[in-house]
Chains A and B, each alone.
Chain A
Amino acid sequence: MSKSASWALRSFTVVNYVFLIGISVLCVLPLIHLLAMSLSSNNAVATGSVTFWPVEFTWKSYQFIIEKPEFMTSFFISVKRVFLGVVINMVLTILVAYPLSKEAGKFKGRTIYVWIFVFTMLFSGGIIPLYMTMRSLGMLDTIWALVLTHAVPVYNVVILLNFFRALPKELEEAALIDGAGAWRTLWSVYLPLSTPSLATLTLFATVSHWNAWFDGILFMNTPVNYPLQSYLYTVVVGLDTLIKSNTDLEVLSLISDRTARAAQIFLGALPILVIYPFLQRYFTKGIILGSVKE
């Protein structure tokens, strides 16, 4: 190994590290800027002196938001939605993935069933027919419209069924010899071995329910029923005027539209920021996205 080669390698390593640090900082910097603004005074934000650290630190924006009924109502609708939605998603994902993970020879009709599910990933009626359906089912303005439209996340089903198939076949045979039926095998053999996949899918389901906003706008006629992200949409595009009463006016002299908006957006992202690091480590093991067969 010549000296110049190792010098080239070392400088590549340094450049590579600096570059990677640069782009990863770029991924979180805007969020930090937002947090800094939400914790700064109205005045500091207006003069543009806030970058990545709060200037004239204050909790005022957060106090204002927490006392804002619209925010808290929609926050709790979202919590309820995530709880209901994730339970339904996970139960149905497991119940669909397990039979479909069987070989066609062992489970008659598997191929037909698979196509019934997969076809919905390829084709849909579109938003207008979906809206009409929810209307005729009387689900507009109820949480069921948000929770049930994607009760079976087919994409997650595909991930889980591929994970099930990658588990050793001998385990299932052993369970069958010991007299376990399908339910028992699923519950005591497959599920305990699938923690990485189940953790990943729970994260995906949680994130998709927490982040969903368009269905709220589509299916909820009255903004009181908006989940948090739909409510935030109205805040972000400015349909929402903060001023509702005289006391609000007084508070608003201390905070600005921009700081209050920053605080709301940050609170909307907070639950994700909190759970994400705990479940993130399962990703590489948990996702088996289809397979390239030999």
Chain B
Amino acid sequence: MPLHLMLIPGLAAILIFQYYPMAGIVIAFQKFMPTQGLFHSKWIGLDNFRYLLELPDFYRVLWNTIYIAFMKIVVGLVVPIVIAILLNEVRKEVFKRLIQTLVYLPHFLSWVILSGILLDVLSPKDGIVNAALRALGLPSIFFLGSNHWFPFTLVVTNEWKEFGFSTIVYLAAILGINPALYEAATMDGANRFKQILHITLPGMAPIIVLLATLSIGNVMNAGFEQVFNLYSPVVYESGDIIDTFVYRIGMVDAQYGVATAVGLFKSLVSLILISVSYVLAYRFANYRIF
């Protein structure tokens, strides 16, 4: 009985602030007028969705989302694996801990702070990155204002923020490898490179497979906070993603019905992808989150 009692406040909060808003999804099927309220606005069936499918912008936004998210997933898998292996080869504990403290840090700063820094550092006119490029005799690059460079800038800066923190999982996996394996390998005359190749990497394989599988669920998440802070109308063509698109047509243009329809579309696709990835993770890696 006390166990049920303990759950009441948490349940109440989640019902009011997570489940109650879900009822608002009906807006997607209405010509929603805020003055008339949720259940008195005109029902228009699938018209909002039909309108969307005829919108050329929608396909561009969908493509941008998947393209950017996919690049982020691939880079986000590879870089932390490499860094974790390299960190594991460091034998001096103090040095290792210092490096970890420094590389985890950007993860804890908000995109507002980081974009404030990036806007300055990457500025074509007086940013230090371009000053460095010029010193090397290379042309300046307008990283945040060119449709060619913007998606790559998003991927690289996102990785810069997150790679350190992502290595934690892999480091934990390496710690779980039986030390006897390394001893045996040393006896057999395997050098450090051979040990990485034949013990560390295979030892990490299950967690790599697991995280790769779970990342399927993220194909629709290209990173709202980052894009919203770094983009400008100049790069809408290459950088506008579903979440920023929803914000603009919903909160800026007040087309609530259409915006909710896009949001619902994204939520449903994400739900399916995440479910698939969890089922796969359970099948292949016997993974459960709780």
Tell me whether A107 is interfacial, beta carbon within 8 Å: yes
Tell me whether B145 is interfacial, beta carbon within 8 Å: no
> Is A126 a contact partner of B90 (Cβ separation < 8 A)?
no
> Is A128 a contact partner of B263 (Cβ separation < 8 A)?
yes
Tell me whether B183 is interfacial, beta carbon within 8 Å: no
> Is B105 a contact partner of A28 (Cβ separation < 8 A)?
yes
Q: Considering only CB atoms, which chain A residue lies closest to B79 in the complex?
A: A23
Tell me whether B104 is interfacial, beta carbon within 8 Å: yes
> Is B109 a contact partner of A272 (Cβ separation < 8 A)?
yes
List CB contacts (< 8 Å) of A239-294 with chain B.
Answer: 258, 261-262, 265, 268-269, 272-273, 276-277, 280, 283-284, 287, 289-294
Tell me whether B179 is interfacial, beta carbon within 8 Å: no
**With A95-B10, A258-B120 as given contacts, are A33 and B24 in contact (CB-CB < 8 Å)?**
no
A233 vs B156: C-alpha distance when bound (angstroms): 21
A182 contact set on B, CB distance < 8 A: 2-3, 6
Q: Considering only CB atoms, which chain A residue lies closest to B258 in the complex?
A: A128
Chain B residues with a Cβ closer than 8 Å to the other chain, count: 90
Chain A residues with a Cβ closer than 8 Å to the other chain, count: 100
> Which of B53-61, B62-70, B111-119 lies at the interface?
B111-119
Tell me whether A235 is interfacial, beta carbon within 8 Å: yes
**Contact bitstring B28-66, A, C-beta under 8 A = 1, else 0:** 000000100010000000000000000000000000000
Q: Considering only CB atoms, which chain B residue lies closest to A102 in the complex?
A: B3
> Is A214 a contact partner of B251 (Cβ separation < 8 A)?
no
**Contact bitstring B197-216, A, C-beta under 8 A = 1, else 0:** 00000000011001000000
**With A20-B99, A27-B103 as given contacts, are A125 and B24 in contact (CB-CB < 8 Å)?**
yes
Nearest Cβ in chain B — how far from A172, in angstroms?
13
Tell me whether A218 is interfacial, beta carbon within 8 Å: yes
A96 vs B13: C-alpha distance when bound (angstroms): 11
Tell me whether B228 is interfacial, beta carbon within 8 Å: yes
A128 vs B29: C-alpha distance when bound (angstroms): 13
Q: Considering only CB atoms, which chain A residue lies closest to B115 in the complex?
A: A236
A28 contact set on B, CB distance < 8 A: 102, 105
> Is B117 a contact partner of A30 (Cβ separation < 8 A)?
yes
> Is A128 a contact partner of B259 (Cβ separation < 8 A)?
yes
Among candidates A34, A120, A291, residue contacting B117 with C-beta atoms closer than 8 Å: A34
Residues of B at under 8 Å CB distance from A?
Answer: 2-4, 6-7, 9-11, 13-14, 16-25, 27, 34, 38, 83, 86-87, 89-90, 95, 98-99, 101-106, 108-113, 115-121, 126, 128, 131, 160, 164, 168-169, 171-172, 191-193, 206-207, 210, 224-225, 228-229, 246-247, 250-251, 256, 259-260, 263-264, 266-267, 270-271, 274-275, 285-290
Nearest 5 A/B pairs, CB to CB: A129-B24, A126-B263, A211-B110, A24-B102, A125-B21
